Chains A and B, each alone.
Chain A
Amino acid sequence: GAVVSQHPSWVICKSGTSVKIECRSLDFQATTMFWYRQFPKQSLMLMATSNEGSKATYEQGVEKDKFLINHASLTLSTLTVTSAHPEDSSFYICSATRGYEQYFGPGTRLTVT
């Protein structure tokens, strides 16, 4: 149990376009999901907290209008990177909470050309 999926696993897009990443908890309901980004050989950096039915809470320094988060149901949260630029290229990982435990998705590698 406690499986989290992400789609797509990797995506290449052109500068200026938008990309949507989906995060799903497959076998449990998650009232809270988190979005992280990770640069090579670095630890995870929390971007935002996503709660079902309410607006996401963004960490300091994360642009709300650039990284749109929607938590449509207890099993689905989406992250949309709007007007992507090469500096947005990164590994994006979501997680979902079950009680006090947090389970991570496999990650999405975004490359902006």
Chain B
Amino acid sequence: QKEVEQDPGPLSVPEGAIVSLNCTYSNSAFQYFMWYRQYSRKGPELLMYTYSSGNKEDGRFTAQVDKSSKYISLFIRDSQPSDSATYLCAMSDWAAGNKLTFGGGTRVLVKP
């Protein structure tokens, strides 16, 4: 079993819909949770960073962390075709020296 599980998709939604992404993990020591967006042949771009449980909102993006369930989510409101990309969740604990453990990525397609 992988430390971080993420549905590979593809997840196809119409423009304007809410995109819902999630990851589950098994290591209870993870404290820092990140979501990255990666376009084809590009490096990942940091979208959201959260520490511990709770919600965080930034523009069209909302990240949720439920440490009791070992479950994190990313919601993208009013999705645009430009949101079509692969979304990677990543997490770490300070003891690991900032090393990130990634999910496999979810491919998202937003259709005009």
Contacts and interface: CB of A to CB of B under 8 A. Distances in A.
A71 to B, nearest CB: 14
Contacts of A2: 46
A46 interface: yes
Contact of A100 (B44, B45, B98): B98
Nearest to A107: B43
Interface centre among B32, B44, B99, by most chain A C-beta atoms within 10 angstroms, is B44
Contacts of B75: none
Contacts, number: 52
Interface in A62-113: 91, 93, 95, 97, 100-107, 109
A43 B103 contact: yes
Contact of A104 (B32, B41, B43, B51): B43
A46 B94 CA distance: 17
Interface centre among A4, A43, A95, A103, by most chain B C-beta atoms within 10 angstroms, is A43
**SS class of chain A's interface: helix, strand, loop or mixed?**
strand
Interface residues of A, number: 23
A83 to B, nearest CB: 26
B42 interface: yes
Nearest to B107: A41
Interface string B16-51: 000000000000000010101000011111100101
B43 to A, nearest CB: 4
B97 A49 contact: yes
Interface of A: 2, 4, 6, 32, 34, 42-44, 46, 49, 91, 93, 95, 97, 100-107, 109
21 contacts: A4-B43, A6-B43, A34-B99, A42-B104, A43-B103, A44-B44, A44-B88, A44-B102, A46-B100, A95-B43, A97-B98, A100-B49, A100-B92, A100-B94, A101-B34, A102-B98, A103-B46, A104-B43, A104-B44, A105-B43, A109-B41
